[in-house]
Structure 1
Amino acid sequence: MVGDMRLRPHRSTADPGTGLVGPARVDRRTKALTKRLSSGDVAVIDHRDIDRVSAEALVACHPAVVLNAAESTSGRYPNLGPQILLDAGIPLVDHLGADVMAVKEGTTLRVDGNRVYAGSQLVAEGVLQDETTVTAALDEAREGLSDQLEAFAANTLAYMVSERDLLLDGIGVPKVSTPIEGRGVLIVVRGYHYKEDLAMLRSWIRESKPVLIGVDGGADAIIEAGWTPDLIVGDMDSVSDKALTCGAEIVVHAYRDGRAPGQARVERLGAPHVVFPATGTSEDVAMLLADDMGAEIIVAIGTHATLIEFLDKGRNGMASTFLTRLRVGGKLVDAKGVSRLYRPSISNWQLVLLVLAGLAALLVALAVTPAGQAATEITLARWDDLVSWVSRLFQGG
């Protein structure tokens, strides 16, 4: 398995137990950690209820083991992250407490079962997760899902009250120079299966030429796919400098009181931008902006679509995502739906076959006419002359 291949057995003279060794990479924010996490590292996080996107990002980095100071599944809802890590063969030890977060970056850690050592010193002791513990935690979480539904409904109502002007009348949406009126818009979020969905839509993007909006790291996904984003929307915490300076128009998502932590970074890069103060997530801001600017259709890649995905995000603000979809209405289409409904008018190989069939039909038509027969006889005669000349050339040599 992945984890077994990357963990090196180690025996300490002070503590004779065998363990799995690697340099520590420590960060309370999993998204920030994955930017510097490499194969064989020990990932140290403080992530209550590891969600699917975070788990997939960790798996892509191939860490030796994941150490979680918090509960990987608290029981609030059936989150998918722990199972994804186990399926990838990456060991998961959680409930380690605050002590593990005090480990300095780069410290060599040895994980022996549910214990974490720095040299011979025991740093923390937690719970080694396996199929049995993860399954039991998920079953318990499903039983308490009704409580989360009530909390989600309450947050939804609170958001509706606080953002009614924005939701109903579009008050507060900044004006952008990118022409959107009457055009299709593709919003890319680095979320669920964004790479696969982006690949499936290549033909639609090529033929429809939609406005390309990257939500934070979604802008890098657009660039990696070979295009250039028209707009970048977000708090600028997970987008690269390359994307921010690619020439796209930038909309900085700010808190409702106007604070925009990402604005300083954009200004430092000298990139022109506007600020959009709004509660909720950056993907909501992108959808509201596209809708207010008159988009004909909004196709979403990597965004949250199901109730479990809303809860999996792990924040109260996800209630805004639900209401934003009600606000945008029939314009919004999930990328998977487009890929299933849309088929290119004609593919390249179909075009080649069509040309070959046309040439074949033309040759057959010429062959049955007097002029065609004469041309065929002349061509065959010339071919005989060529064969005879080549034969004489080799015989003479």
Structure 2
Amino acid sequence: MAGVRLPVRRDSGTDAVAVLGPARVDARTKTLTKRLKPGDVAIIDHEDLDRVSAEALVTCRPVAIINAARSSTGRYPNLGPGIVVDSGIPLIDAAGAEVMKIPEGHQVGVSADGGVLVDGAVVATGTTMTPEAVEHAMDEARAGLAVQIEAFAGNTMSYLREERDLLLNGVGLPELRTSMDGLPVLIVVRGYHYREDLQTLRSFIRDQRPILIGVDGGADALREAGYKPDLIVGDMDSVSDETLRCGAEIVVHAYRDGRAPGLARVKELGVEDPVVFPATGTSEDIAMLLADESGANLIVAVGTHVTLIEFLDKGRAGMASTFLTRLRVGSKLVDAKGVSQLYRSTISARALVLLVLAGLIALVVAMIATPGGSAALQLLGARWDDLWAWLRGLFQ
């Protein structure tokens, strides 16, 4: 029973409308969206709900979203809460840790005043986010951006100290079987507008045949668009088993101390010779570094982070590495939208020949179908017979 609205008694004795649906509970939002279905109630524990996670939740069309944490702490103006509220899905904010104990699949009710009900009893109470509440939170967050920029600067220097050999000299980058020397490379992250960007790049991919690199779930995005990734980079927590078995070279992103939780999964799937790459930055960053160091002449990014708000969406640990990696790669890196606006597809000779043949066939069919066209064809046939007879006479 999903998406059902029931009357629920308030303490005041009046009735409040509730949304009822089966609970889907997971502290990791990107893991939850893999099994979330329309009509479910999504229960998450996601502080500062980011844009990508919010869009993934909205796409699944749950009847309500309950967040144990604060969807916007005021640290920066994150876009996630606004996306959920604008979609019309009720968002119950700061409901507390108790909601994470609700059994998976259990029927959960959500009242209009922010109550979370199990078996008719209120087990937690949060705040129902409204457009006005979201706008107020965004105004407060914008006022505190200066603090985040200072933190960003400090974190940037810390990352540079830890990874200066990797960033400046490429020390520690592994050898790959996939050759990229002198070739264009397309790096796909399942982030902002990745579906639209892949669609606009179809002619570029067809004509230029770039090396395709999927970053974790970005490899699934490539396959959904009809492509086979050449290289998969990531900690392997959000890419499907089928994609890992597709024959692409695998680079497992490990912690700086060498621990690689995703390596065991890759080996269990029977993938041959996976490469382990210990690095402090994000998987998106090491994909760019690998392409740059391997001699790629152009790096096109799909779904990656570009603006300050997008950097902040990654959290303090990720935004410094992304910023410095983009400085390291330099002019090779181009955003997908820039490529789609500047690139013009070329027409091959084969396509031109086929186009001319199609035109001739259409012309002949049109002539046969009309009386005037038939007469013209008969006259043309007679002239051809005369020409053929004349040629035969020359050789006889």
Q: Check whether TM > 0.5.
A: yes
Identify if the C-alpha distance between structure 1 residues 351 and 305 changes in structure 2 by more than 3 Å, giving closer, same or farther.
Answer: farther
**How far apart, in 1, do the equivalents of 2:147 and 2:66 lie?**
28
Identify if the C-alpha distance between structure 1 residues 17 and 361 changes in structure 2 by more than 3 Å, giving closer, same or farther.
Answer: closer
User: Quick check: 1:254–1:276 contact (8 Å CA) kept in 2?
Assistant: yes
Q: Any idea what the Cα deviations from partners look like across 1:275-318, whole Å, max 9, x if unmatched? A: 00001110001000111111111000000011110001224222
- 2:151 aligns to what? 151
- In the TM superposition, 1:100-111 aligns within 5 A as 100-111=99-110
User: Quick check: 1:287–1:328 contact (8 Å CA) kept in 2?
Assistant: yes
Equivalent AA in structure 2 for residue 52 of structure 1: R
Identify if the C-alpha distance between structure 1 residues 203 and 374 changes in structure 2 by more than 3 Å, giving closer, same or farther.
Answer: closer
Unmatched 5+ residue regions in structure 2?
365-374, 384-396
- 2:5 aligns to what? 9
**How far apart, in 2, do the equivalents of 1:78 and 1:349 lie?**
50
Identify if the C-alpha distance between structure 1 residues 332 and 19 changes in structure 2 by more than 3 Å, giving closer, same or farther.
Answer: same
What is the SS of the residue equivalent to 1:44? strand
- 1:31 aligns to what? 30
What is the SS of the residue equivalent to 2:289? helix
CA drift of 1:349 comes to 9.2
User: Quick check: 2:86–2:131 contact (8 Å CA) kept in 1?
Assistant: no
What is the SS of the residue equivalent to 1:262? helix
Equivalent AA in structure 2 for residue 7 of structure 1: G
CA drift of 1:353 comes to 6.1
- In the TM superposition, 1:1-397 aligns within 5 A as 7-11=3-7, 17-113=16-112, 114-272=114-272, 273-346=274-347, 376-377=378-379, 379=381
**How far apart, in 2, do the equivalents of 1:380 and 1:147 lie?**
89
User: Quick check: 2:207–2:346 contact (8 Å CA) kept in 1?
Assistant: no
User: Quick check: 1:14–1:120 contact (8 Å CA) kept in 2?
Assistant: no
- 2:386 aligns to what? none
Identify if the C-alpha distance between structure 1 residues 374 and 300 changes in structure 2 by more than 3 Å, giving closer, same or farther.
Answer: closer
- 2:371 aligns to what? none
User: Quick check: 2:76–2:148 contact (8 Å CA) kept in 1?
Assistant: yes
Identify if the C-alpha distance between structure 1 residues 354 and 308 changes in structure 2 by more than 3 Å, giving closer, same or farther.
Answer: farther
User: Quick check: 1:155–1:317 contact (8 Å CA) kept in 2?
Assistant: no
User: Quick check: 1:116–1:125 contact (8 Å CA) kept in 2?
Assistant: yes
TM superposition score normalised by structure 1: 0.87
Identity of aligned residues (%): 61
TM superposition score normalised by structure 2: 0.87
Number of aligned residue pairs: 367
Equivalent AA in structure 1 for residue 244 of structure 2: L
Q: Any idea what the Cα deviations from partners look like across 1:37-73, whole Å, max 9, x if unmatched? A: 1111000001011100000000111001000011111
Unmatched 5+ residue regions in structure 1?
1-5, 363-372, 382-397
CA drift of 1:11 comes to 3.7
Identify if the C-alpha distance between structure 1 residues 360 and 175 changes in structure 2 by more than 3 Å, giving closer, same or farther.
Answer: same
**How far apart, in 1, do the equivalents of 2:324 and 2:219 lie?**
24
Identify if the C-alpha distance between structure 1 residues 374 and 333 changes in structure 2 by more than 3 Å, giving closer, same or farther.
Answer: closer
